């Protein structure tokens, strides 16, 4: 298992995929923060609640890109065929998946932290440029960083599970993006009161961007989602034939 962990860490480091994901995330956060701060009226940006809303950008980006990284960790092996040598070395398959989940959580934490930190810096510059005072408290920042990192870590674990379940890389990545940008944002209008329970909204609550859920309930939900996705991915991976 230690061997599998070290192997998965090397897989992460030995391609540039993670670096490109970080760059894409920075670009997305910068764009979204700029658009928000430029487009919104000064009144809509002045209160602490409004500013926390704007800071959703970092939390969402951290979760999404951590989820993508998790999904890629599995689907890239199928896409490039490395799943075959990988499973020839570890034919039990379980240790590979466990290592991918563990490394995914680690990478997800970094994605979450970096996304929040980048956004905080970005927003500080943008607010200052428009002469708007930053109303966030120290506690808000702590929750943004810890909650954002935890949410992203759990999204990464869920991403590994989704990747193992869907297997096709493009489908898994498109699916995760569609989930974050379409399902999460429209579900509330179809089933009121339900949208806040979804993994993206739960992550926002955990990071303190919204108060739709208590942090404890949000954390519990996210753990549950990650566990369910990982369990299904695990089950399928141990049973299904490798092409």
Partner 1 sequence: MQSEPKGGGITDETLSVVPPVVTSPSDVVVSCRNLTKRYGDLVAVDDISFSLQAGTVTGYLGPNGAGKTTTLRLLLGLAEPTSGEAFVFGGRYRELEQPIRQVGAVLESNDFHPARSGRDHLRMLALAARLPLRRVDEVLELVELGGAARRRVRTYSLGMRQRLGLAAALLGDPQLLILDEPANGLDPAGVRWLRKFLQTFAGEGRTVLVSSHLLAEVAQTVDHVVIIDRGRLLARGRLDELTSTGQSLEDVYLELTDGDAS
Nearer to partner 1, 89 or 125 (CB): 89
Q: Is 214 in the site for partner 1 (CB under 8 A)?
A: no
Q: Residue from 41, 42, 43, 91 that binds partner 1 (CB under 8 A)? A: 91
Q: How many residues bind partner 1 (CB under 8 A)?
A: 28
Token match 């430029």: residue?
A: 38
C-alpha torsion 10→11→14→17, nearest 10: -140
- CA 12/CA 159 separation, integer angstroms: 15
108 within 8 A of 154, measured Cβ to Cβ? yes
Which residues between 1 and 40 bind partner 1 (CB under 8 A)? 2-4, 6-7, 10-11, 14-17
Q: Least distance from C-beta 163 to partner 1, angstroms?
A: 15
Binding mask 94-113 for partner 1 (x = CB under 8 A): --x-----------------
Dist. CA 75–CA 174, nearest whole Å: 13
Cβ neighbours around 12 below 10 Å, total? 17
Nearer to partner 1, 130 or 235 (CB): 235
- Given 31, 44, 92, 224, the residue binding partner 1 (CB under 8 A): 92
- The Cα-based distances of 80 to 86, 169, 204, 215, 233 in angstroms read 12, 10, 34, 40, 19
Cβ 19 to partner 1 shortest distance, Å: 10
Q: Which of 27, 48, 85, 125 binds partner 1 (CB under 8 A)?
A: 85
Among 31, 44, 84, 137, binds partner 1 (CB under 8 A): 84
- Closest C-alpha among 242, 86, 78 to residue 173: 78
Using CB under 8 A, which of 39, 42, 88, 191 touches partner 1?
A: 88
Query: Token digits for 166?
Result: 């869907």
Which of positions 151-190 make contact with partner 1 (CB under 8 A)?
Answer: none
Of 118-147, binders to partner 1 (CB under 8 A) are none
The interface with partner 1 within residues 53-82 (CB under 8 A) comprises 76, 80-82
From the list 144, 167, 148, the residue with the least C-alpha distance to 156 is 148
Q: Tokens 């034939």, residue? A: 241
* Cβ-contact 191, 100 below 8 angstroms: no
Binding site for partner 1 (CB under 8 A): 2-4, 6-7, 10-11, 14-17, 76, 80-92, 96, 241-242
């Amino acid at each position: 298992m230690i061997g599998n962990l070290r192997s998965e860490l090397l897989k992460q480091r030995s391609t540039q995929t993670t670096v490109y994901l970080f760059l894409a995330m920075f670009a997305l956060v910068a764009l979204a923060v700029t658009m928000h701060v430029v487009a919104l009226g000064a009144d809509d940006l002045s209160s602490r609640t409004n500013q926390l809303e704007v800071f959703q950008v970092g939390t969402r980006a951290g979760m999404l890109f951590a989820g993508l990284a998790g999904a890629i960790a599995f689907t890239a092996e199928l896409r490039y065929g490395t799943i075959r040598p990988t499973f020839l070395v570890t034919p039990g398959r379980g240790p590979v998946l466990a290592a991918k989940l563990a490394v995914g959580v680690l990478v997800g934490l970094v994605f979450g932290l970096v996304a929040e930190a980048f956004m905080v810096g970005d927003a500080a510059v943008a607010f200052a440029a428009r002469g708007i005072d930053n109303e966030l408290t120290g506690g808000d920042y702590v929750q943004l960083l810890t909650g954002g990192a935890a949410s992203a870590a759990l999204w990464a674990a869920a991403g590994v599970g989704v990747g193992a379940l869907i297997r096709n890389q493009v489908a898994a990545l498109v699916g995760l993006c569609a989930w974050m940008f379409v399902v999460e944002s429209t579900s509330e209008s179809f089933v009121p009161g339900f949208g806040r329970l979804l993994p993206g909204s739960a992550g926002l609550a955990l990071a303190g961007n919204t108060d739709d859920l208590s942090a404890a309930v949000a954390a519990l939900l996210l753990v549950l989602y990650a566990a369910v996705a990982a369990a299904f991915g695990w089950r399928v991976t141990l049973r299904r034939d490798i092409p």
